[in-house]
């Protein structure tokens, strides 16, 4: 790999100060994605700032003084610890399921919660420096290898001619469904709070930019508001092998019911877009309706009506519908078998 | 299988197991060679054309760099010296994407890898031939005489008139071997001699190929390869990386280490080619096969041909009066295909055994019964008697053990909640051969303590060869297992066959056994005594007061071996669970029943069989190397993209061995199990998927999208 400078920091302000004004510096947390990309010469940072000593690992309840209003998940906590934390298991099982659906045990033991959000697409054209990729080489505008290439794993929503890649995270899909917010700090200015829905972006004309994080910003925590979905939620991941494979389609589904009437529905899809894809159309169709398979189907069909598949991924439209219905059914009944 | 008081046939744990799990077993690049430099290969980014210019200046100036070697400055090598796949840096010509075009040698691995990226290459591109779907129409008869059209009777005519028939094309994708240990070498020159620590399935083959290619004598090349971290055929023939390491070490006048990266594995060490197999089967109403045509279309490299024998199973599996086996091949700008576990048989059996299942369904006949009705009494391809054939036992014992009677004849009849359950069966076979191998056995006595050393240039792929040879020697010498040392994988030892084509166990065990018998005979002769009960070598060492004794044997297969048709056989049973909504398939139970002669060690044998089964399940469900048809690059270059099965993909695995004593095959009756374990597996899974869902998937792998 290319030579780089390695800096260790021990608190938030020295971390943000170290990176300020250095567009080619990167924070290093779990390193499960960044180091791979550096070895492949895809990421070429001049400096790595090791933030693993920062005290940002706790998972704790959020209160407004009197009542619990949610949960805060430290950005540098490990994915494994988040998935197994009793508060998350009890109140946000959807998140635990999503984390455990991702990567492998070894990777989850290293990967951090903040880093999970920042992992980059697994598009093979992005990973192979011999291939054209607008995301990897933005200045030269070499074209998108996947647009007319092997795009079975790629987007069916929100892609552009410049980029058809999908975001690889499972965790982020559950966070999208659960209305998470991301807290960030920088050397200049106060703490900023970004809704997860606004955190990742669509590729448009700037596929090299994955998120709306500004240069120099450090994720400190992920916060989830309190909800009533714990009883009725499910994360379904459809993939080519049972573990350590990225999603063909994944669905984070959550329902809040009054009797059998849907008070709130949350559906987010993975493996379909450059960001976790919140199925707002389907959600809106379900609110106020009875929780029935027929209504799930109608909502899924409405959502998928807008899909624009590529040459090799038309199956994702049908698979997406089926998976949404299945995930909602399991969320409703709790019966996975 | 165990004989009284014998250690052979017992489930002994690997004698090298502790060394391996504690990291003490030295693999090729583990050797503590001093003053080592590191080489990293760099590769072409086009699939066809010529290198117009190479700018190696920035790389040469990069910190730590000792040399940059390209076709412009590489020493002259013999390109047809036995190294497979070209890419020896002898010309600017590019024949496939990712062809080696040079290597950087530096003080550290990181420096070499970095500098390799600084080389600037300009090409004159030509149109690459990489789109198999288009090019397969241009395929022609292979040059290889063994792939000539093989006709018996008139299959086409019989098919035309048949009342019951299946005619379908079965597709298998490119697969890669992807052993966990990527190909790796340390080269160390000592004057005219070079030692190559290198992961080699054929130790003497690697020695010959390296010597010929380097234009030196075989005795100047020593291969050291005691342990291999998997090979699956890709370390049988040797590839350019072996010789280029020696070249690099010569150029920098220091030992050099070169290990391929996982990404480099896709276009450095061969692959299993993509096959289109048209299988046509015809049968009478009562299930007698009347015709079998197996027509394979595949690809090879631009300059060199390799065609895996997909029609081999079809030649011998069933009694059929009209048979046609053909091959057509088209050269493409891809690396040379090569031997890959169960070459031809694993892929060929997918086509044949799927078609058998399709025809059984059409006949409304149980697929086991259908196969039993077409069991040949002799090898149908050459009329020779079988040395032994266990297909019937494999099917019958397997059916009983698996609970085949619970299978529903019609698909989609077994639904459990969100899942459809299906059962599938398929047969497999692989030839059993003994190859010439030598072995040396040495005994040493200190007081009453006797130890033995067994030496031959055999290869242990990680399958337990050290262990089975220690077991063989222990029984033949009359010594306990822990008194035996086995030394393999060094070309300085007596020459031996490769661990390829399932010949390892029979070739090596017979050689070691013969050497032990010969040693005992010699000690008896030396004693000048007559014994009523034959003493063991161990007893003779004591009674005759011998301190050291050794002998060597050059073992050969039995003289009459080719009067028989000798093969291992199996029957594979799969139970699958298919998610109705998502199409995800899980193999919940798998049983392989195998007749492979004498099983020297049921524990390592079981591991090897279920290892083959796991790869077969991968072949069925997950594994596919995908080429971009515009540029000829692989888009599946990592374990994240090339899906070998994970633990969660594998359900309950069971292996049963049929007890048999096949001395016609070879003196010990050992037939080999490395290849047969994968043969028939993919078809058993695909047939189970059909039984579950009613969907016949003829294009592997069976990914969820194919079942929607």
Residues A19-34 pLDDT 10s: 999 999 999 999 999 9
Identify the CA nearest to A176 among candidates A246, A250, A260: A250
Instruction: Put residue A296 in one of left, alpha, beta given phi > 0 → left and psi -120 to 50 → alpha.
Output: alpha
Helices (H), B409-529: 465-477, 504-527
DSSP helix/strand/coil, B477: helix
Q: State the Cα–Cα distance between residues B280 and B707, nearest whole angstrom.
A: 24
Contacts of A111 in chain B (CB under 8 A): none
Contact present, B19 and B25 (Cβ < 8 Å)? yes
* pLDDT over 80 at B433, yes or no: yes
Our CA angle for B603, B606, B610, nearest 5°, is 145
DSSP B81: S
Q: State the Cα–Cα distance between residues A271 and A280, nearest whole angstrom.
A: 16
Q: Per the CB < 8 Å rule, is A1 touching B649?
A: no
Q: State the Cα–Cα distance between residues B654 and B573, nearest whole angstrom.
A: 10
B326 and B371 inside one domain: yes
pLDDT of residue B293: 98
Identify the CA nearest to B252 among candidates B522, B449, B68, B53: B68
Q: Is residue A248 part of a domain?
A: yes
Contacts of A127 in chain B (CB under 8 A): 637-638
Burial of B652 (0-12, 13-18, 19+ CB in 10 A): exposed
Contact present, A254 and A268 (Cβ < 8 Å)? no
- B61 — phi, psi (to 5°)? -85, -10
Identify the CA nearest to B555 among candidates B493, B507, B486, B489: B507
Distance from CA of A122 to the nearest CA of B (A): 9
Q: Is residue A311 part of a domain?
A: yes
Q: Is residue A316 part of a domain?
A: yes
**Number of separate domains in chain B:** 3
Distance from CA of A70 to the nearest CA of B (A): 33
B316 and B334 inside one domain: yes
Q: Is residue B113 part of a domain?
A: yes
Contacts of B638 in chain A (CB under 8 A): 127
B111 and B259 inside one domain: yes
Of A53, A69, A86, which one is at a domain's C-terminal end? Answer: A53
Identify the CA nearest to A56 among candidates A95, A15, A3, A105: A15
B466 and B482 inside one domain: yes
Of B556, B573, B605, which one is at a domain's C-terminal end? Answer: B556
By Cβ distance, the residue of B581, B628, B646 closest to A323 is B581
Say how far residue A202 (Cα) sits from the centre of its chain.
Answer: 13
Q: Is residue B171 part of a domain?
A: no
Average pLDDT along chain A? 97
Prediction ipTM score:
0.97
Q: Is residue B138 part of a domain?
A: no
Segment A36-66, tens digit of pLDDT: 999 999 999 999 999 999 999 999 999 998 9
Residues facing B65 on adjacent strands? B106
Q: Which of B181, B397, B575, B675 is catalytic?
A: B675
Q: Is residue B7 part of a domain?
A: no
Residues 6+ apart with CB under 8 A from A316: A156, A248, A249, A271, A272, A307, A309
- Closest chain B residue to A124, measured at CA: B635
Band (B1; pLDDT cuts 50, 70, 90): very low
- Closest chain B residue to A168, measured at CA: B640
Distance from CA of B104 to the nearest CA of A (A): 14
**Number of separate domains in chain A:** 2
Q: State the Cα–Cα distance between residues B176 and B628, nearest whole angstrom.
A: 16
Residue A334 CB coordination number (10 Å) = 11
Q: Is residue A176 part of a domain?
A: no
B478 and B508 inside one domain: yes
Segment B337-378, tens digit of pLDDT: 999 999 999 999 999 999 999 999 999 999 999 999 999 999
CATH number at residue B443: 3.30.365.10
Contacts of B584 in chain A (CB under 8 A): 238-239, 242
Question: Whole-model pTM?
Answer: 0.98
DSSP helix/strand/coil, B378: strand
Q: Per the CB < 8 Å rule, is A238 touching B704?
A: yes
- What Rg, from alpha-carbon coordinates, does chain A have? 20
* pLDDT over 90 at A98, yes or no: yes
B359 and B279 inside one domain: yes
Q: Is residue A19 part of a domain?
A: yes
By Cβ distance, the residue of B581, B628, B645 closest to A326 is B581
Q: How far is CA A143 from CA A149, A192, B220, B379, B544, in A?
A: 11, 34, 51, 57, 82
Q: Per the CB < 8 Å rule, is A3 touching B114?
A: yes
Q: Is residue A208 part of a domain?
A: no
Residues 6+ apart with CB under 8 A from B529: none
pLDDT of residue B3: 66
Helices (H), A55-104: 79-84, 86-91, 93-101
Q: Is residue B167 part of a domain?
A: no
DSSP B33-79: -SS-EEEEEEE-SSSSEEEEEEE-HHHHHSTTEEEEEETTTPPP--T
Q: Is residue B141 part of a domain?
A: no
B371 and B501 inside one domain: no
Residues 6+ apart with CB under 8 A from B657: B1, B593, B594, B595, B596, B599, B602, B605
β-pairing, B415-416 vs B419-431, is antiparallel
Angle between helices A315-333 and A293-304 (to 10 degrees): 150
Q: What is the mean pLDDT of the segment spanning A156-160?
A: 98
Extract the runs of DSSP E, i.e. beta strands, from chain A: 5-8, 25-28, 47-50, 59-63, 68-74, 181-185, 192-195, 218-225, 233-239, 247-258, 261-270, 277-278
B98 and B225 inside one domain: yes
A5-8 β-sheet, strand order: A5-8, A47-50, A25-28
Our CA angle for A241, A145, A28, nearest 5°, is 65
**Domain limits at A35?**
5-53
**Domain limits at B419?**
150-155+272-433+562-707
pLDDT of residue B358: 98
Chain A contact present for B655, CB below 8 A = no
- Closest chain B residue to A244, measured at CA: B640
Q: What is the mean pLDDT of the segment spanning B648-657?
A: 97
Of B503, B530, B556, which one is at a domain's C-terminal end? Answer: B556
pLDDT of residue A142: 82
B675 an active-site residue? Answer: yes
Q: Which residues from A are below 8 Å from B when comparing CB atoms?
A: 1-3, 39-41, 104, 122, 124-125, 127-131, 145, 148-150, 152, 236, 238-246, 248, 315, 318-319, 322-323, 325-326, 335-337
By Cβ distance, the residue of A130, A152, A323 closest to B582 is A323
pLDDT of residue B121: 98
DSSP A207: T
- A39 — phi, psi (to 5°)? -65, -35
B262 and B363 inside one domain: no
CATH number at residue A265: 3.30.390.50
Q: What is the mean pLDDT of the segment spanning B272-284?
A: 98
Q: How far is CA B421 from CA B307, B340, B701, in A?
A: 36, 31, 19
Q: Is residue B655 part of a domain?
A: yes
Q: Per the CB < 8 Å rule, is A246 touching B640?
A: yes
B258 and B311 inside one domain: no
Segment B173-229, tens digit of pLDDT: 999 999 999 999 999 999 999 999 999 999 999 999 999 999 999 999 999 999 999
Contact present, B268 and B335 (Cβ < 8 Å)? yes
Average pLDDT along chain B? 97
Segment B41-60, tens digit of pLDDT: 999 999 999 999 999 999 99
CATH number at residue A15: 3.30.43
Distance from CA of B641 to the nearest CA of A (A): 8
Calculate what percentage of chain B has a pLDDT beyond 70.
100
Contact present, A282 and A289 (Cβ < 8 Å)? no
Band (B631; pLDDT cuts 50, 70, 90): very high
Omega of the bond prior to A223 within 30 degrees of 0, cis?
A: no
pLDDT of residue A1: 77
Q: Is residue A329 part of a domain?
A: yes
Segment B301-343, tens digit of pLDDT: 999 999 999 999 999 999 999 999 999 999 999 999 999 999 9
Segment B218-233, tens digit of pLDDT: 999 999 999 999 999 9
- B563 — phi, psi (to 5°)? -75, -15
- B634 — phi, psi (to 5°)? -85, 135
B281 and B187 inside one domain: no
Extract the runs of DSSP E, i.e. beta strands, from A68-165: 68-74
Q: State the Cα–Cα distance between residues A49 and B700, nearest whole angstrom.
A: 45
Q: Is residue B425 part of a domain?
A: yes
pLDDT of residue A189: 83
Band (B5; pLDDT cuts 50, 70, 90): confident
> What's the N-to-C CA distance of chain A in angstroms?
47
Helices (H), B117-223: 132-135, 155-160, 203-214
DSSP B105: E
B86 and B191 inside one domain: yes
Q: State the Cα–Cα distance between residues B115 and B60, nearest whole angstrom.
A: 8
Q: State the Cα–Cα distance between residues A320 and B580, nearest whole angstrom.
A: 14
Residues 6+ apart with CB under 8 A from A294: none
Band (A139; pLDDT cuts 50, 70, 90): confident
Q: Is residue A156 part of a domain?
A: no
Distance from CA of B705 to the nearest CA of A (A): 6
């Amino acid at each position: 790999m290319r030579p780089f400078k390695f800096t260790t920091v021990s608190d938030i302000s020295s971390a943000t100060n170290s990176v300020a004004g250095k567009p080619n510096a990167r924070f290093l947390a779990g390193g499960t994605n960044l180091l791979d990309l550096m070895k492949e010469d895809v990421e070429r940072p001049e400096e790595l700032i090791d933030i693993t000593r920062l005290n940002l690992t706790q998972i704790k309840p959020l209160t407004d003084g009197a009542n619990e209003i949610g949960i805060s998940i430290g950005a540098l906590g490990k994915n494994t610890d988040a998935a197994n934390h009793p508060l998350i298991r009890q109140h946000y099982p959807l998140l635990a399921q999503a984390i455990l659906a991702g990567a492998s045990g070894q990777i989850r033991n290293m990967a951090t919660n903040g880093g999970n959000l920042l992992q980059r697409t697994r598009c093979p054209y992005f990973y192979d420096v011999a291939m054209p990729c607008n995301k990897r080489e933005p200045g030269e505008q070499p074209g998108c290898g996947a647009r007319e290439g092997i795009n079975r794993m790629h987007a069916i929503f929100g892609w552009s001619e410049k980029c058809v890649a999908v975001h690889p995270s499972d965790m982020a899909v559950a966070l999208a469904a659960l209305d998470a917010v991301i807290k960030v700090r920088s050397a200049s200015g106060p703490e900023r709070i970004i809704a997860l829905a606004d955190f990742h972006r669509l590729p448009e004309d700037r596929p090299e930019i994955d998120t709306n994080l500004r240069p120099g910003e450090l994720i400190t925590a992920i916060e989830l508001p309190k909800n009533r979905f714990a009883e009725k939620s499910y994360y379904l991941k459809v993939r080519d092998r049972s573990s350590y494979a990225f999603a063909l389609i994944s669905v984070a589904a959550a329902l809040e019911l009054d009797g059998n009437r849907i008070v709130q529905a949350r559906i987010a899809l993975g493996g379909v877009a450059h960001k976790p894809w919140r199925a707002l159309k389907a959600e809106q169709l379900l609110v106020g309706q009875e929780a029935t398979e027929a209504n799930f189907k109608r909502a899924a069909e409405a959502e998928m009506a807008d899909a624009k598949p590529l040459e090799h991924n038309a199956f994702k439209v049908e698979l997406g519908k089926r998976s949404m219905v299945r995930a909602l059914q399991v969320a409703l009944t709790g019966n996975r078998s | 299988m165990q004989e009284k008081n014998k250690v052979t046939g017992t489930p002994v744990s690997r004698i090298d197991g502790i060394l391996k799990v504690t990291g003490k077993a030295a693999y090729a690049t583990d050797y503590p060679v001093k003053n080592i430099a590191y080489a990293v290969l760099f590769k072409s980014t086009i699939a066809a054309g010529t290198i117009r210019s190479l700018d190696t200046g920035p790389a040469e100036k990069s910190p730590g760099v000792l040399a940059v070697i390209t076709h412009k400055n590489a020493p002259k090598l013999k390109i047809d010296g036995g190294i497979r796949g070209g890419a020896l840096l002898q010309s600017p010509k590019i024949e496939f994407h990712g062809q080696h075009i040079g290597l950087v040698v530096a003080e550290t691995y990181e420096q070499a890898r970095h500098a390799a990226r600084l080389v600037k290459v300009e090409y004159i591109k030509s149109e690459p031939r990489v789109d198999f779907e288009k090019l397969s129409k241009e395929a022609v008869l292979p040059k290889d005489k063994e792939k000539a059209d093989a006709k018996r009777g008139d299959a086409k005519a019989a098919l035309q008139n048949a009342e019951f028939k299946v005619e379908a094309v079965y597709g298998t994708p490119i697969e890669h071997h992807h052993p966990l240990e990527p190909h790796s070498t340390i080269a160390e020159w000592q004057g005219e001699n070079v030692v190559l620590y290198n992961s080699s399935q054929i130790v003497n083959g690697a020695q010959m190929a390296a010597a010929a290619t380097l234009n030196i004598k075989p005795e100047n090349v020593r291969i050291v390869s005691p342990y291999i971290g998997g090979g699956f055929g890709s370390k049988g023939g040797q590839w350019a990386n072996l010789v280029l390491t020696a070249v690099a070490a010569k150029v920098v006048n220091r030992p050099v280490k070169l290990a391929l990266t996982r990404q480099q594995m896709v276009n450095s060490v061969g692959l299993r080619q993509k096959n289109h197999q048209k299988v046509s089967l015809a049968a009478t109403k009562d299930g007698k096969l009347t015709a079998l045509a197996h027509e394979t279309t595949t690809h090879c490299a631009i300059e060199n041909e390799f065609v895996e024998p997909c029609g081999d199973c079809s030649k011998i599996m069933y009694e059929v009066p009209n048979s046609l086996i053909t091959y057509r091949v088209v050269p493409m700008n891809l690396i040379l295909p090569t031997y890959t576990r169960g070459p031809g048989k694993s892929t060929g059996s997918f086509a044949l055994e799927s078609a058998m299942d399709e025809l059984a369904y059409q006949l409304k006949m149980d697929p086991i019964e259908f196969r039993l009705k077409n069991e040949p009494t002799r090898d149908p391809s050459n009329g020779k008697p079988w040395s032994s054939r266990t297909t019937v036992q494999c099917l019958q014992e397997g059916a009983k053990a698996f609970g085949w009677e619970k299978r529903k004849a019609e698909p989609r009849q077994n639904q459990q909640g969100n899942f459809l359950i299906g059962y599938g069966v398929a047969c497999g076979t692989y030839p059993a051969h003994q190859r010439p191998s030598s072995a040396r056995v040495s005994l040493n006595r200190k007081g009453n303590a006797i130890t033995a050393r067994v030496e031959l240039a055999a290869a242990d792929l990680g399958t337990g060869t050290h262990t089975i040879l220690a077991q063989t020697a222990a029984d033949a010498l009359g010594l306990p297992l822990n008194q035996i040392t086995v030394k393999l994988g060094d070309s300085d030892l007596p020459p031996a066959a490769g661990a390829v084509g399932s010949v390892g166990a029979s070739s090596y065990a017979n050689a070691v056994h013969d050497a032990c018998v010969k040693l005992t005979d010699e000690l008896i002769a030396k004693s000048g005594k007559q014994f009523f009960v034959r003493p063991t070598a161990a007893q003779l060492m004591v009674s005759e007061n011998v301190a050291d004794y050794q002998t060597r044997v050059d073992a050969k297969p039995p003289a009459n071996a080719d009067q028989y048709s000798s093969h291992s056989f199996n029957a594979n049973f799969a139970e699958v669970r298919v998610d109705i909504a998502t199409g995800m398939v899980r193999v919940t139970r798998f049983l392989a029943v195998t007749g492979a002669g004498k099983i020297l060690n049921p524990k390592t044998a079981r591991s090897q069989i279920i290892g083959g089964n796991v790869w077969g399940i991968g072949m069925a469900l997950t594994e596919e190397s995908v080429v971009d048809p515009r540029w000829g690059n692989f888009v599946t270059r990592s374990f994240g993209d090339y899906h070998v099965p994970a633990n969660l993909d594998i359900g309950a695995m069971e292996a049963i061995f049929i007890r048999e004593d096949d001395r016609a095959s070879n003196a010990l009756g050992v037939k080999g199990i490395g290849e047969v374990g994968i043969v028939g597996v993919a078809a058993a899974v695909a047939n189970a998927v059909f039984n579950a869902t009613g969907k016949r998937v003829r294009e592997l792998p069976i990914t969820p999208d194919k079942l929607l």
